[in-house]
Structure 1
Amino acid sequence: MSEIRLAGTKKVLFRFPTLLEGEFIPYVEFDRANFDSQYGFLSPGTIATTLCEYFDDDFQRFIPRTLATTSRLIKLPFLIKKGCKKSIDKDGVIDIKLSIADPEVRIKGAQSINGVYESSIVVEVEIKKSKDIEFYIDFYAKDDDDDEYVKGELKDILCGRIMIKFDYTVTTDWETILPVIPKSKFIGWKHPGVRQNCFDYALEQLRQVGYWVKSERWNKKWDGTKELNDFIFQLYLEEDVAGMKKGVQKDQFEKGVEYLKKTLKAGIPVMVGVDDGAEVTNDDLTTEHFITLVGMGEDSTGKYLLFYDNATGDSDIGTSANNRLYCKPSVFLIEGNGDYRIDYIQNTSKKRYVVTQIRETK
């Protein structure tokens, strides 16, 4: 039974007539108002959780929220509320635990805190896994043993919960890579000695820094039929081609993006084809222009690939830091508008580029 003791001694001055009065019974609630949406998407849960009988009816049964995230590190705010009106012990210990035991998922910082009613806490969780995973963050309360006045009996009572759904995608690990080709080596429209064609300009852009594509041909066959070359990742099609159905090519998207990340990290540029809505097409019946990917980064819009565009002869525009194609794993697309000063983009029907194919570099 809960009791009040003489400060500095073990002498009992008073025993509470009921268990609850001298207990610390908090309810840990997710603080949605102070949640930073950069850490993921919050939604109502589907599975109810029932707390012990000591909680007031308002708290005893609830459905924990679910956070879907692709972030390696999440910071979540919570409020500590009074879970039982009869409780007069305002503070105690709250233990923070994960529902899984995995060395690649851990709580950063203290896993046991001194909690007080009507206060707030922030919990940080680090996730290192390279696959999807689900788990709960659970909160357990107990009275603090060093309280000189009030000593409770309840231990390890579940007092809060949130579900975490970590979704691993090809953009989960995304580095910032500055342009791997210096601006001084930009190859733009009407560059002397090169045939006036975006494909040839893109090839020359690679050659300027000692590279080329593994194959200049899209089609693997020479007999009039079509088969995708082994050194090309096809990401998007507007027509059925070579056994592939029109639309996004989900099986090629992840492989292609992983190739881009690995290659750019090694300091190697990559030539890609894009769809812009023009009428001129290549063997894939979709690609109308070729550009060169030179870097990576992240901004408020998302995670992007930086490109040099030979559609202009102006190096400031062709190498603009605004030439960004955003990687969108949820829809299996890489797309973007580029610098608004590129007249070629502005004069196309789509007014944006959609990456259609990735050509491996050698």
Structure 2
Amino acid sequence: MKMFSRRLLSKNGPNCYLPWSQTFQIYKTSTGVDLAETKKALSYIISALAQKIPVLIGVDNRSGAPAANPDNSTDHFVVVVGMGTDEKGKFLQFVDNATNNPSTGASFSNRLYYNSTTGKITGKTAVTDYRNYPGMHDYIVTQVRNSIKK
């Protein structure tokens, strides 16, 4: 899935900068939230979006630790493309590559919210086929990756 998110970034100008040294690891299932990294990541996202640079983020969306990612927490990747405020609070708008249906993949309801009490950034995808697989839960942001312009 990261490959599809990286393609989306490439088509929109920036390219994801992949080295782990350029990643904000904000949550791990084994250790929870890193508040200092979360604050840095949120500042980075706000700055990138202000420059019209989309941001690749990793999410934990199911039980268990995926062996494919070194943090043992990230199951899936999405791309943050905007932010705003609604009745639930401030949100990050994302595009989800878990579908080939643009109306759900780029749905306005694809939102992630920051919880100032827990420090977690969580939300749901509009991709119901993916969201409703057995063992799935709301997205929890695990990592934020720096993006660079080509």
Structure (1 or 2) with the larger CA radius of gyration: 1
Could you tell me which amino acid in structure 1 is paired with residue 142 of structure 2? T
Could you tell me which amino acid in structure 1 is paired with residue 141 of structure 2? V
Match of 2:119 in 1: 332
Residue of structure 1 aligned with 2:23, choices 226, 232, 252 = 232
How far off is 1:319 after superposition? 0.3
Could you tell me which amino acid in structure 1 is paired with residue 2 of structure 2? F
Q: Percent identity?
A: 34
Contact 1:271 1:292 in 2 (8 A): yes
* Stretches (4+) displaced over 2 A: 278-281, 348-351
Question: What TM-score do the two structures reach when normalised by structure 2?
Answer: 0.91
Could you tell me which amino acid in structure 2 is paired with residue 264 of structure 1? L
How far off is 1:350 after superposition? 4.2
The 1-side partners of 2:9 and 2:29 are apart by: 27
The 1-side partners of 2:134 and 2:9 are apart by: 25
How far off is 1:351 after superposition? 2.5
The 2-side partners of 1:342 and 1:203 are apart by: 22
1:203/1:348 Cα in 2 relative to 1: closer, same or farther (>3 Å)? farther
Unaligned segments of structure 2, at least 5 residues: none
Contact 1:309 1:318 in 2 (8 A): yes
Match of 2:9 in 1: 206
Report the 3-state secondary structure (helix = DSSP H, G, I; strand = E; otherwise coil) of the residue aligned with 2:141: strand
1:348/1:289 Cα in 2 relative to 1: closer, same or farther (>3 Å)? farther
Could you tell me which amino acid in structure 2 is paired with residue 234 of structure 1? Q
Residue of structure 1 aligned with 2:85, choices 280, 298, 309 = 298
Normalized per residue, which structure has more helix? Answer: 2
Query: Which whole-Å deviations, capped at 9, do the CAs of 1:245-288 have from their partners, x for residues lacking one?
Result: x1111110101101101111111100000001154341100000
The 2-side partners of 1:323 and 1:305 are apart by: 8
Residue of structure 1 aligned with 2:49, choices 264, 274, 277 = 264
Report the 3-state secondary structure (helix = DSSP H, G, I; strand = E; otherwise coil) of the residue aligned with 1:351: strand
Unaligned segments of structure 1, at least 5 residues: 1-197, 218-228, 240-245
Could you tell me which amino acid in structure 1 is paired with residue 139 of structure 2? Y
Report the 3-state secondary structure (helix = DSSP H, G, I; strand = E; otherwise coil) of the residue aligned with 2:39: helix
The 2-side partners of 1:207 and 1:348 are apart by: 32
The 2-side partners of 1:213 and 1:204 are apart by: 9
Report the 3-state secondary structure (helix = DSSP H, G, I; strand = E; otherwise coil) of the residue aligned with 2:16: coil
Contact 1:272 1:293 in 2 (8 A): yes
State yes or no: 1:349 paired with 2:140. Answer: no
The 1-side partners of 2:26 and 2:8 are apart by: 22
Could you tell me which amino acid in structure 2 is paired with residue 266 of structure 1? Q
Report the 3-state secondary structure (helix = DSSP H, G, I; strand = E; otherwise coil) of the residue aligned with 1:254: helix
Question: What TM-score do the two structures reach when normalised by structure 1?
Answer: 0.39
1:255/1:348 Cα in 2 relative to 1: closer, same or farther (>3 Å)? farther
Summarize the alignment of residues 39-188 of structure 1 with structure 2, pairs less than 5 Å apart.
none
Match of 2:39 in 1: 254
Match of 1:169 in 2: none
How far off is 1:210 after superposition? 1.7
Contact 1:270 1:292 in 2 (8 A): yes
State yes or no: 1:287 paired with 2:90. Answer: no
